[in-house]
Amino acid sequence: APERLQWSYNPQDGSIRSKLNGQCLSIDSCSTSEAANIVVSECQINDPSAQCQGKNQQWTINTSDQSIISQMNGKW
């Protein structure tokens, strides 16, 4: 598959990063709405000056059903 379709998960910081450019899978604007957009943006995990300190870019992978869950709000 092309790099633009490949992702890597880092269990240490919870990021899911694009193989193409290293950017992070993110919940747009730290929204808690069920209709929030998922976007790719510059990684800001643990940055105290970032919107929601990068929690919108941290994920947990549920291996039993292969889903991803946001560490920001427990959704998705």
Domain assignments of the chain as residue spans, ordered by start: 3-70
Can you give the pTM of this predicted structure? 0.89
- Write the pLDDT tens digit of every residue in 17-69: 999 999 999 999 999 988 999 999 999 998 999 989 999 999 999 999 989 99
pLDDT band at 73 (very low <50, low <70, confident <90, very high): confident
Q: Which one, of 9, 14, 11, lies nearest residue 70 by Cα?
A: 14
**pLDDT greater at residue 75 or residue 40:** 40
Residue 5 has what DSSP assignment?
G
* CATH architecture classification, 3-70: Trefoil (2.80)
